[in-house]
Amino acid sequence: MYLEKNLRQLVADETARLIYEEGYRDYRLAKQKASQRLGADNHAKNQPSNEEIEQALHEYVQLIDPKEHQATLRLHREIALEAMEFLKPFHPFLTGSALEGTSSPVSAITLHLSANRAEDVIVYLEEKHLPFQIHERKVKAGKKQEYFPLLRLYVDNVEVELMIFPDDGHASLSALNTVTGKGVKRADYKRVQEILATMPLP
């Protein structure tokens, strides 16, 4: 039993390392990679839950040099705030690692936007002559999963993801966190300002 629990924890720890150090965004893929590296089979007893991986990620961050981590986190939050000011017409909210405090140098900054049409955001960026890539991402909203437009661009060599939801607010507000199964934690411009104000200066 101890070995089973130990292997499960090792998989969680390695998954957390892959997310932080190698930039894995998908917990499932990171867990598969970690299991392969550790020789763990797919039996449920050896597979940590997303909540266990999230806990391991927060513990892993504690092992990083505090000044180095705080510098990365501050940079990502400052870029997020700048991007939110720029994207103000689309009511941006910050979510993901920059909000949770687990940003690494290879993490992306994730913003949720609201727009009548995805093309409105695309045209807005094109008019500002900003290069970006167009993708889509599957998001669980309520009891169903839907694909929503995702724009990817870079600011100061940091990746910024723009998730675009219909401006009725329903989809973005009902979007569920794939880790907890609960509503996605989000922060508006004012809240991000407040969070930054509490961070130690470099």
- The reported pLDDT for the residue numbered 2 is 38
- The reported pLDDT for the residue numbered 172 is 52
Q: What is the pLDDT of residues 108-162, one digit of tens each?
A: 999 999 999 999 999 999 999 999 999 998 887 666 788 899 999 999 999 999 9
Report the share of the chain in percent with pLDDT over 90.
62
Q: Look-up: residue for tokens 């705080």? A: 70
- The reported pLDDT for the residue numbered 139 is 80
Q: What is the pLDDT of residues 38-49, one digit of tens each?
A: 888 777 677 888
Average pLDDT, stretch 93-101? 94
For residue 64, is it left (φ>0), alpha (ψ between -120 and 50) or beta? beta
Q: Which pair of tokens denotes residue 83?
A: 């991007």
- The reported pLDDT for the residue numbered 176 is 47
- The reported pLDDT for the residue numbered 43 is 73
- The reported pLDDT for the residue numbered 137 is 87
CB atoms within 10 A of CB 50: 17
Q: What is the pLDDT of residues 159-201, one digit of tens each?
A: 999 999 988 755 455 454 555 455 678 999 999 999 999 998 7
Give whole-number Cα distances, 193 to 48, 67, 88, in Å.
Answer: 35, 20, 14
